[in-house]
Each structure stands twice: as C-alpha cells, then as structure tokens.
C-alpha cells in the first residue's frame, strides 16, 4: 500500500511540475516605440511663399503593439494649432502624413511639432521638432 501512495505522489509531483512550467508567461515589454520623422526636419525654415503648408510626415513602430499616437503643432506660446490622435490600437507600424496651412504669419514664426507614441505596456516615446515658418 505504501508503494502505491509513493507512486501516486511521484506521478502527482511530475504532473504538477509539467503543469506549472508549461504555462505561458507574459513577456515583459520595456521597449519604447520608435518614432521616425520624415518632415519637418529639426529647425527647418518653411517659406509659405514656396509651399503654403507645413508637411507633417512620420512613421511609428513598436516591437509588440501600439496603443495610441498623437501629433500636435504648437506656436511659440504653446497654443495648440493642430492635434490629431489617429486610431493605432494593436498596430505594430503606423504612418502619418498630413498638411497644415498656417495663417497670419507676418515674420519668421517659431512652431513645434510634437509626436507622442505609447505602446500596450505604456512605454512612451516623444519627439519634439522645432521649426520656423516665414511668409
């Protein structure tokens, strides 16, 4: 009788070991999304006489999955002139291309384009690009 109990304990121990070691473990994602801005380039001066709009073009990618992306354009006092929060939930790669037509530009005026990307594990990357716009 003792050997049957011993064998049952041994079998139970082996099944427990297999059960607990074969469970999927959640992978930890500590990598921030990668933001690659094509336009505008840092400290670009955009002449509205040549092209009447600011081109905003970038790609965001993440090793697992994106949760949200935002892009905004602000003036020198921080007033938000343009804001978009495109739907990116679950994507690994997202490309953005938009144009903004500023008004009331009388001289060289500083602006900032800010792109922020967050993945499913709340790793966040931000890139701010200062630019200048002239009539």
Using alpha carbons, select from 46, 35, 31 the residue that is nearest to residue 123: 31
List the chain domain ranges.
34-134
Q: Give the right CATH number for 34-134 from 3.20.20.70, 3.90.550.10, 2.60.40.2550, 3.10.129.10.
A: 2.60.40.2550
| Nearest-angstrom CA–CA distance, 66 and 33 | 8
Q: What is the pLDDT of residue 49?
A: 92
Q: What is the pLDDT of residue 55?
A: 97
Burial class (CB in 10 A: 0-12, 13-18, 19+), 45: exposed
Strands 45-47 and 124-134: parallel
Using alpha carbons, select from 121, 79, 83 the residue that is nearest to residue 104: 79
Digit-coded pLDDT (tens) for 81-97? 999 999 999 999 999 99
For residue 2, name the pLDDT band (cuts at 50, 70, 90): low
Does 22 score more than 60 pLDDT?
A: no
Digit-coded pLDDT (tens) for 27-74? 689 999 999 999 999 999 999 999 999 999 999 999 999 999 999 999
Name the more confident of 52 and 12.
52
Using alpha carbons, select from 44, 94, 92 the residue that is nearest to residue 70: 94
Using alpha carbons, select from 34, 111, 49 the residue that is nearest to residue 77: 111
The DSSP call for residue 40 is S
**Tokens 């002239």 map to which residue?**
134
| Nearest-angstrom CA–CA distance, 19 and 30 | 28
Q: How far is CA 11 from its chain centroid?
A: 49
| Nearest-angstrom CA–CA distance, 63 and 33 | 7
Q: What is the pLDDT of residue 79?
A: 95
Q: What is the pLDDT of residue 76?
A: 92
Does 112 score more than 90 pLDDT?
A: yes
Q: How many residues does the chain have?
A: 135
């Amino acid at each position: 009788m003792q050997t049957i109990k011993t064998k049952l304990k041994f079998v139970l121990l082996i099944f427990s070991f297999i059960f607990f070691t074969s469970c999927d473990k959640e992978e930890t994602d500590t990598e921030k999304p990668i933001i690659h801005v094509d336009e505008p380039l840092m400290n670009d001066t955009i002449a509205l006489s040549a092209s009447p709009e600011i081109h905003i073009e970038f790609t965001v990618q993440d090793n697992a999955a994106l949760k949200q992306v935002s892009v905004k354009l602000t003036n020198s006092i921080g007033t938000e002139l343009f804001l978009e929060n495109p739907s990116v939930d679950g994507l690994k790669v997202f490309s953005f291309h938009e144009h903004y037509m500023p008004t009331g530009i009388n001289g060289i005026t500083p602006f900032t384009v800010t792109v922020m990307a967050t993945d499913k594990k709340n790793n966040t990357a931000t890139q701010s690009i200062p630019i200048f716009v002239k009539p």
